[in-house]
Amino acid sequence: MVAAEELAKILGTSRRTVYRYVEELKGQGLAVEACPGSKGGFRLSQNNPNLTRALNENELLSLMLAGLAVAEHNLLPNNDSLEAGLNKIRDSLDPQTWAQIQEKLPNISLMVGKLYEDDEVASRIEAISAAIHGHQTLHTTYSSFSSNRTETRLIDPYHLLFQGGAWYVVGYCRLRKEFRTFRVDRMSDLTPNGSVFVRAPEFNLGAYLGASWGIMRGERHKVAVRFFPPISRYISEGHWHSSQTVSLEADGSVVFGATVDGLDEVKRWILSFGAAAQVIAPEALYAAVAAEHRDAAARYEYDKGN
């Protein structure tokens, strides 16, 4: 039971608007009860009709499409629960609506990086999810890619996310005394250490990731890269970063600009375009990409001695 005054406060509006919202919900098929009295308010009736009646065909299609894509690619640790929920939605639809959705589903796809099936990683994800929910500090042995070292860590896990074909957990590292990102498949001996942490209320995932190209953070840089035809058109048509700018040059090339935190991920992106990309700035990125190209060229040099 929620009072009109409380709803108005939550929604940042007036009681009059709340009553209007309630009438609109009723009009969409939701059975909302108004209970008078000092302890009264609004609630969904226990005899509430099928909630899917409040959604139109396009909304149901979008919901089913997103859910099926996540289920197909195993992108959630509780995949069985997702599939069960989707089945309930499907079973609640009238045959005509479900037939119309079935006609459209095969013609729309969401192509995402498929997570390789690994029972060990899946069990770690479940353990991390439980620790996040219970605010439990985790003990783990972590193999760092950047330092090529294996260390024991105590981590207060805050957020699980899937990026670039792998799972990561963002959490407070007791060893480094700061928030860090850890790749789940590099974690072993993952167990709760018996202590409970207080989640920092100011933590925000978007603020933590900042302007990173993907998930790895670093110093902030203004990046400029020239892309030559025909790749230049491909670059100008894509959305690569929230801060991106793209300017067309007279020769058909484009200059791509962005402000990013960390250079490693954007370096790999630039290298994927080979000779069609030329770094303009910063100097550190220019040098790193040039070195990669020189090393690659050396591997392909013809050895006359063979």
Give tens-digit pLDDT for 10-26: 666 777 776 776 676 66
Q: Which residue has the higher pLDDT, 31 or 121?
A: 121
CB 94 within 8 A of CB 53: no
Nearest Cα residue to 289 out of 302, 275, 303, 299: 275
Q: pLDDT per residue over 201-228, tens digit each?
A: 999 988 898 899 988 888 999 999 999 9
Is 306's pLDDT higher than 70?
no
Which position has the higher pLDDT, 59 or 280?
280
Query: 64 falls in which pLDDT band (50, 70, 90)?
Result: confident
Listed by start position, the domains of the chain span 4-49, 55-107, 119-209, 220-299
Q: Which two tokens stand for residue 50?
A: 């099928």
Q: Is the pLDDT of residue 50 over 60?
A: no
Higher model confidence: residue 232 or residue 217?
232
252 has pLDDT over 90: yes
What pTM does this model have? 0.63
- Cβ count near 64 (within 10 Å): 19
How confident is residue 200, by pLDDT bands cut at 50, 70 and 90? very high
Percent of the chain having pLDDT more than 70?
75
Give the pLDDT of residue 16: 75
For 76-111, b where at least 16 C-beta lie within 10 A, e where not — what string? bbeeeebbeebeebbeebeeebbeebeeeeeeeeee
